[in-house]
A and B are shown apart, each in its own frame.
Chain A
Amino acid sequence: MISPVYGLVYILLAPVAGGIVAGIDRKITARMQGRVGPPLLQPFYDVGKLFEKENLIVTRSQNLYALSYLVFMLVSGALFYAGGDLLLVIFAFTLSHIFLVLGAYASSSPYSFIGAERELIQIIAYEPMIILSAVGMYMVTKSFFVSDIAATTIPIILYLPGIFIGFLMVLTIKLRKSPFDLSTSHHAHQEIVKGVTTEFTGPNLGKIEIAHWYETVFLFGFIFLFFAFSVPIALAAIVIAYLIEILIDNTFTRVKWQFTLRSAWIVAGMLGLVNLAVLYYLSGGIQS
């Protein structure tokens, strides 16, 4: 059953949760580096400040693209939490990132261009794995609807361990963490200035940041589905997965795009496809 209430709750609460998660992330990162770190609510101060700043743009279309990125991220997340079709959710999710890339291409800046190209490479790298995750969940639960997958009592993680590991790798790309923070980063890699967000200022950058919070909470929901049979285990899995991401972020340096693409596809192929093949073999083909 699709319930718009959960979608509405997501729209209202996801930025709050996402912002606090970002704050905890920065605090833990600082502690790992032996620093005190910013206040917990720092991400909210940052975004609040960005909306106080002047909106300096190169072309008007940047405003539209930044807004579209936020809106389509919201649509995909709300569809997901409302219990909609997983394939439609992934479609809207990809579309939102295409808007970000278009926004970066709209401004004639070389740094922005490099960022946009790298963002496209990242989309190419993670997309197969996310589709495979949806297909894997369909093979286990016989449904593409999030509401059905979330209501299942089957421990999906036991059927899809390979796909889950592949998904964790993709999570690193999606959360813009090292070593896969190619297109832009929250940290001080400055060789491409700020990559895809270079030419976005003030309110537009604020919208992109809020969209990133929505994205974080949406991805948490995706992790939840793997452990949907038990809510406490699912919440623990989300916390542990995120802590591992922070640790990886602080341990590795940024890698080249070739390595990102190759490793993401090799992991998707080795773990994802083999996982699906074993599942297919054991179940004796898909019964409808």
Chain B
Amino acid sequence: MTYLKRSPWIIHYDASSCNGCDIEVLACLTPMYDIERFGIVNTGNPKHADVFVVTGSINEQNKAVIKNIYDQIPNPKVVVAVGICATSGGVFRECYNVCGGIDKIIPVDVYVPGCAARPESIIDGIVKSLGILEEKRLKMKNPDTGQSSTVGRK
């Protein structure tokens, strides 16, 4: 029996985003979309979180912060990069202070492109990440077998 997929708690970090994607992430909590239907709770604490949602691109200022938050999340955990800036750096890719997408610092599991990403696609991305979360849990439980052959990816 797996409970992880039924109760993913997210932590949202704004890494130099223009707030476009952040507004859309928060829109998922509103009565219109209500992600609590899936048991998803926006917790402010990395130590309680399962899903790390990052918006915006990496720069020199927030490199250490993102790494720190990622390390504080207990295993198993997944990272969802929301918006094109988090995915690849977007239009800011060539800026002198921007290093690029989130995957330059930490491993990203799901990319949600868009400028700004729609709430529907954010929800879709988070729900996709739950399959990966489950795989990681099985890997953590049986480190020898490595692959999770019993559960197919959705």
Contact = CB atoms under 8 A, between A and B. Distances in A.
B131 to A, nearest CB: 15
B145 interface: no
Residue among B39, B43, B44, B47 having the largest count of chain A Cβ atoms under 10 Å: B47
A193 B7 CA distance: 19
A26 to B, nearest CB: 8
Interface string B15-53: 000000000000000010010111100111101101000
A48 B44 contact: no
B2 interface: yes
A38 B6 CA distance: 10
Nearest to A203: B74
Contacts of B7: 42, 45-46, 48-49
Contact of A54 (B1, B6, B74): B74
Contacts of A53: 4, 50, 74-76
Contacts of B44: 188, 190, 193-194
B48 A194 contact: yes
B31 A34 contact: yes
Given A35-B34, A54-B140, A198-B47, A188 B6 contact: no
A193 B72 CA distance: 14
Given A30-B36, A45-B6, A52-B2, A35 B31 contact: yes
A44 B45 CA distance: 20
Contact of A201 (B31, B37, B42, B47): B47
Interface residues of B, number: 26
Contacts, number: 79
Nearest to B31: A34
Contacts of A258: none
A52 B47 contact: no
Interface string A45-72: 1111101111110000000000000000
Interface in A1-58: 26, 30, 33-39, 42, 44-49, 51-56
A200 B36 contact: no
Interface in B62-108: 72, 74-76
A106 to B, nearest CB: 14
A92 to B, nearest CB: 28
B36 A201 contact: no
A51 B50 CA distance: 13
B43 A194 contact: yes
Interface of B: 1-4, 6-8, 31, 34, 36-39, 42-45, 47-48, 50, 72, 74-76, 137, 140
Interface of A: 26, 30, 33-39, 42, 44-49, 51-56, 188, 190, 193-194, 197-202, 205
Closest 9 CB pairs of A and B: A48-B3, A190-B44, A45-B6, A54-B74, A49-B3, A34-B31, A56-B74, A49-B7, A54-B75
